[in-house]
Amino acid sequence: MSGLMSISEVNRMPYEQFISIFGNVVEHCSLCAAAVWCQRPFSDVSQLHEAMSTFLDQQPLAGKEGVLRLHPDLAGKLAQSRGLTSDSAKEQTSAGLFDMTEKERQTMNNLNQEYKEKYGFPFVICARENKKEAILKGLETRLKNNSEEEALTGVAEVKKICRLRLLDIVDPSSSTKSAL
C-alpha cells in the first residue's frame, strides 16, 4: 500500500520520530505514544494498537477522563474556527458534521453543553464509524449513563479512533512474523 509505512520501519524509529508520527493517534496525547515506544518491536499494527489500548485501559478513572478532555467538541467552536487537528477535521468531515443544518448544529451544541456539564469532559465517538444522525442519537442516549460508565464508553471510542488513525499510518499487511 503506497504511502503507508511498514511495521519494521516503525520498530526502527528513534523515540523523537515515533512521538512525532504517533503522538496524536490518541488526540493530543503524546504520552500514550511515549509509553508504548519502549515496547517495540511490534509484530504488526494490531500489536501496536493493543499496546496503546492497554495503556488507556490501565489509567485510573481520572486518567481516562483526562484523555477524554483532550478531545474537541464535535462540530464545536474549534471546528467552526478551523482549529481542529487535521485528523479530527477529516474525521468530523467524513461524518457530515460540517454539513449540518442550523437546527442540527444548535441541537449538537446544546447536547454537547449538557454532556460536558454532566460528565466534565466532551462527548467522544468514533466519527469515522458514524454519521451525524447516529452521533446526535448517541449523544442523547449516552446522557443517560453514569459518569464511570460514560468514561469507559468514551475510552472505548478513543481506542476505535486510535485504531483507524494507526491504519492511516501503518500498512496492516506488514508483519515481522515469519511465514510458516
**pLDDT 10s digits, 23-78:** 999 999 999 999 999 999 999 999 999 999 999 999 999 999 999 999 988 877 76
> Residues 49, 71, 132, 142: which is the catalytic one?
71
Residue % of the chain over a pLDDT of 90: 80
Name the residue with cell 503507508.
4
Q: Is 179 exposed, middle or buried (0-12, 13-18, 19+ CB in 10 A)?
A: exposed
Topology of domain 1-172, per CATH? Answer: UraD-like (1.10.3330)
Buried/exposed code over 44-59 (b: 16+ C-beta within 10 A; e: otherwise): bbbbbbbbbbebbeeb
User: Is residue 16 predicted with pLDDT exceeding 60?
Assistant: yes
Q: How far apart are CA 155 and CA 26, in angstroms?
A: 10
pLDDT of residue 79 exceeding 70: no
Q: Catalytic annotation on 28?
A: no
Which SS3 state, helix, strand or coil, does residue 84 take? coil
pTM above 0.95, yes or no: no
Which 3 state secondary structure label does DSSP give 59?
A: coil
pLDDT of 99 higher than 80: yes
pLDDT at 73: 83
Higher model confidence: residue 178 or residue 18?
18
